[in-house]
Structure 1
């Protein structure tokens, strides 16, 4: 099943103002509704606990999947994790995006098929700015998300380890941009 093409078609509708998204909740529900009505012949469910798929909570970075797409027998499920930061906190949200990608890696290692991380931003500080080092590099300077990533603010002892190498390629216009990151078996 080709989820990515459905995600891209959804964002075409958003950019053409046929579908309105204004926060992460609206993104989750509008994308889920789009997947359900776009001919995806699988179940599309929200906030599914990892245990539903036979995965221990202790084996993953997070506990719930933003959007789970799966067949009736739960074979080769796919996950979509979402981020639509609205209140600044740019470096913190970038780190949180990396945590979501690590979570998708956990799910793929546990048997999920290719899964996707989707980030949407209206604040240009997510895709441009003077600082292009550290946490900013993958989002502003075209460098891959990979390896050990340290939380940039607050208690900086939090880290996340990314096994694969992922590029954030922003698409869209001046007011709203999005990126879709594919996470497959490493």
Structure 2
């Protein structure tokens, strides 16, 4: 019963923290889109910084809320990964809506930006043409949205591996559950 309550608590906390994190990621993308820089490298750095900071903040709040129950490393890892998953679902859905309905020409701008980037890095025009033909098949709003879910969840897992080390806390009474069960008998 206790483990069931803790898993529900982790799941519900991850959903709510993920909601806030997802909204922050969307707000960042909207700001860069409105300012005319939707493909800015700075935007991607900010997204990863928000992901890292949001997971850390969620772990901190969860740990403080649970107090004496502590937060083992596995729970911290699960919380951070689930939080990034829920945030990435919101962000991926927003990316799909942005490219599919809000600005249908944005995907063409992305092709041009990607092509220019490859050329600036010294690739030949033939190589770039070959890459772009393959990329056009893969760069659809749906695939871009789904790839955001996978990418941000993977990075969230990696960040959670790191942050879990710093936010883990052992329970104050490690045998409290065993004593409670014996007292009930």
Which structure is higher in RCO with an 8 Å CA cutoff and minimum separation 6? 2
For this structure pair, what is the TM-score category when the shorter chain's length is used for normalisation? under 0.3
Larger Rg: 2
> What TM-score comes out, normalization by structure 2 length?
0.24
Bigger fraction of residues in strand: 1
> What TM-score comes out, normalization by structure 1 length?
0.24
